[in-house]
Structure formats: structure tokens, C-alpha cells
Amino acid sequence: MIQLKVNGVSKSFGGLKAVNNVSFDVREKEIVGLIGPNGSGKTTLFNLISGYLRCDSGRIIFCGEDITNLDAFKICKKGICKTFQLTRPFHTMTVIDNVTVGALLRVKDVSEAKKKAMEVLELVGLSKKAQRKPSELNIVERKKLEFARAFATGPRMLLLDEVLAGLNATEIQDALACIKKINKQGVTIFMIEHVMRAVMSICARIIVLNHGIKIAEGTPQEVSRNESVIKAYLGEKMFA
């Protein structure tokens, strides 16, 4: 089942065409990667889907409903939640209270929202840090808190923007395990990432942007052999 349909979406900033007539589908419960060089339009595209930016043209359809240019909070209520490349917790609040804020999107009773928040913290492996402040967490734990805050909103799709950035090999595997757990809960994962071996290992399909244009789409194996992708981004020795 197609969950997200992006149809001919474009966005310009002055004379710069950041996203240029991009189209693709994401199916329900998939894990899909979005890759490309820095400045290729990946985060801009995520911001268009999640409502942080307005499309100049094109349509975005989610679960059969046109969500083009809706406000971000309305799109979140529809079921799309985006994490940020730089984590943005509420620093004066505890870990559990950070997650409770997300849960309150769907649950109006605070005690019930806290119960939901603790379930989410259990899922991502942060329950023992529930009463800590975000400043007391290490980088992997802060990434997990970002997952948890987003997952607590009850999304049908998570947009993950470079969640593996700055992690070592062991930490990447830990983060990937967390992503897989969330996906097994029925949440579609659409992720921007530069850690290519991780992307290739977890994603069923990969979409490639370059200069705002979609230059390839396919399985990891298909994309890794695509001459345009190799030339624009991967390099000849990427998978040697």
C-alpha cells in the first residue's frame, strides 16, 4: 500500500532550485533511504513533506489525503513526525517529561501520557534514564531521546534526518537496532543518511537526489551500481 506520494514537488530559494520536480512513492511499513551530496535538497524535501516549508508546486499525498502545504503541527497530527539533525530536547525537563510532551498529542490525560512515554522509553532503551535531564545523556542516548519524542506522537511515518551522524560503529549498530524496533511497531521509516554502509544494510529502497533532482531510485544493490549515483555521490571505490 502506498502511504506517501510525492508528485512533482519543487521548491526554490531566490534563484536556487533546491528541489526540482521530484516524484516518488513510499509504501507502508517500508524503510526507505534518501541520499545525495550535501546541498542536494534532502533536508529541504523533508521539510516540505513535514510542513516546515511550503511547496512552490507539486502535491504531497499521505494515506490518500492531500497534505500539501499544511502546517507542521497538522501534518504531525495526520501521522508524519520528523526528527532533527541536531537534537532539540527541552533541556530543563526530564527525559520522561520530554517524551510525555509528544504523547500528549494523542493522549489528553497527563498520567496516561506519562505511562505511554515510559513504554516508549522502554522500547528505545532509555527507561533507566527517565528522570535524568537531557544534558546528562551521551550522544547515542540523546539520539534515542529524539526517536522517543517523535515516536510518542503516535506517527505512521517517521522522517529521520541524519540520526547516525557523529556515531562510531558500535553506536551506529545500536541506533539501527532502535530504528528496526520502531519499524516493527508498524511505523514507516524514511531516513536521510550519509553513513552509506548503514543505509545499504537497513533500507529496502533508496532514493538519490543531486542538485535537487531525483537521479535514481531502487534497491541498495541497484543504486550502488548506478553510474550516475557513483559519479555524483558514491565514488568508484565506495563498495570496492
Q: From CA 52, how far away is CA 75, in angstroms rounded?
A: 10
- Look at the block and give the residue holding cell 513533506: 49
When pLDDT is cut at 50, 70 and 90, the band that residue 235 belongs to is: low
Per-residue pLDDT tens digits for 113-140 = 999 999 999 999 999 999 999 999 998 8
Identify the structural domains of the chain with CATH numbers, from first to last.
1-79+155-240 (3.40.50.300), 88-153 (no CATH)
Nearest to 117 by CA among 102, 133, 134: 102
Nearest to 21 by CA among 218, 188, 215: 215
Q: From CA 151, how far away is CA 146, in angstroms rounded?
A: 9
- Which residue type, as a one-letter code, is found at position 83? T
Q: From CA 81, how far away is CA 4, in angstroms rounded?
A: 13
Grid coordinates standing for 63?
Answer: 494515506
Strand-pairing partners, residue 157, are: 80, 188
- Give the pairing of strands 2-13 and 157-161: unpaired
Q: From CA 230, how far away is CA 53, in angstroms rounded?
A: 30
Per-residue pLDDT tens digits for 147-202 = 899 999 999 999 999 888 888 999 899 889 989 999 999 999 999 998 888 999 99
Report, as an integer, the average pLDDT of 24-39. 95
Q: From CA 227, how far away is CA 204, in angstroms rounded?
A: 20
- Which residue type, as a one-letter code, is found at position 92? T
Report, as an integer, the average pLDDT of 34-48. 94
Rg (CA), the chain: 18
DSSP code at position 27:
E
* In the chain, % of residues over pLDDT 70: 97
pLDDT value of residue 82 = 93
The secondary structure of 20-75 as a DSSP string is: EEEEEEEETT-EEEEE-STTSSHHHHHHHHHTSS--SEEEEEETTEE-TT--HHHH
All residues at 6 or more sequence positions from 237 whose CB lies less than 8 Å from its CB, including other chains: none
pLDDT, mean over the chain:
92
Q: Is 130 strand, coil or helix?
A: coil
pLDDT value of residue 187 = 96
Predicted TM-score (pTM) of the model is 0.91
